[in-house]
């Protein structure tokens, strides 16, 4: 039980500080205009077109709005 609580706390801290890894952020691109994305809060934002992509449980949802 204590181990599970510690694991959850560690995961919460990691997710609070950085929703996704830096390595993943470096290779992601906007699926619409193919430009880089930047992390703003808990979302990825395209540097060119400004589209926003949510990050849920460390997994970015890179589907364009019209396909969600």
- What was the pLDDT predicted at 67? 82
Residue 46 — φ and ψ, nearest 5°? -70, 135
User: Is the pLDDT assigned to residue 6 strictly greater than 90?
Assistant: no
- What was the pLDDT predicted at 68? 78
CB 33 within 8 A of CB 49: yes
Alpha-carbon gap, residue 50 to 56, rounded angstroms: 19
- What was the pLDDT predicted at 24? 93
CB 36 within 8 A of CB 24: no
Q: Mean pLDDT across the stretch 7-30?
A: 76
Angle at 60 between CA 58 and CA 46, to 5 degrees: 130
The domain ranges of the chain are 2-67
Q: Which residue matches tokens 């560690």? A: 10
pLDDT digits (tens, 9 = 90+) for 33-51: 999 999 999 999 999 999 9
């Amino acid at each position: 039980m204590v181990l599970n609580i510690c694991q959850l706390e560690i995961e919460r801290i990691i997710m609070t500080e950085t929703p996704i890894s830096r390595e993943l952020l470096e290779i992601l691109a906007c699926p619409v205009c193919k430009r880089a994305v930047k992390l703003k809060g808990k979302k990825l934002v395209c540097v060119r077109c400004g589209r926003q992509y949510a990050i849920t449980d460390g997994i970015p949802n890179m589907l364009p709005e019209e396909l969600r």
